[in-house]
Amino acid sequence: MLKRQRFCYAFPMPRIDNKSSKNALTIEQLSLACRHVDEMREEGVTMNLAIRTLELFADLYAKMHMGGSATPHHVGQVALWSVKARSIRRRVPDAKPRDHFRVEHGTPRRGFALKVLNLYRKDKLSAETMARLVDRYWKLAVITLEEDERLNKIARSKTFKTPDERWAAAGIKFQR
């Protein structure tokens, strides 16, 4: 039986002004999602289900920290393209993204969420530690579907020291 007193949704809503999105997440809300993971696990929910909200929140927090919007990732929003993806874009400028490209997280969303959860469990989750985590691990790139398939075989959900190491392990090259 759930212990209802443990759930507290009394966090203040983020301040909304002309510069911030109403979907912007606060550290308190990330903490709530982390606590949610632990409480769900205590009640027997699998990690796969318990962590999904945190994955979404951590990804959104990082995207907005990097200047993005609260919309789903789209190839048009990503500056880093693999050599092969750029080549396809040059040859077929009106190529439909879903037929050729994929927005790839350099650190898998689950791995990134686990890093956030680790900070929370150590009582070190703050705007400063999240900024460092985002700057080091949260990186998006546009890759081809073939590169995505190769990456999934090699390192689908494995976290490397850096996103660049993960992509290199799958032979994905980027112009520098």
Q: Which domain holds residue 63?
A: 24-169
29 occurs within a structural domain: yes
**Does position 8 have pLDDT exceeding 70, yes or no?**
no
14 occurs within a structural domain: no
d(CA 92, CA 75): 15
91 occurs within a structural domain: yes
Angstrom CA distances, 33 to 56, 91, 95, 170, 176, stand at 10, 43, 38, 32, 37
Mean pLDDT computed over 32-40: 98
The predicted structure's pLDDT at residue 21: 66
Mean pLDDT of the chain: 87
Q: Domain total for the chain?
A: 1
Mean pLDDT computed over 26-41: 97
Contact 97, 85 (CB under 8 A): no
The predicted structure's pLDDT at residue 157: 66
**Does position 5 have pLDDT exceeding 50, yes or no?**
no
12 occurs within a structural domain: no
Enumerate long-range contacts of 64-68, CB under 8 Å, 24 or more apart. 64/21, 64/23, 64/24, 64/25, 65/130, 65/131, 65/134, 65/138, 66/134, 66/138
pTM across the whole model: 0.83
**Does position 120 have pLDDT exceeding 90, yes or no?**
yes
1 occurs within a structural domain: no
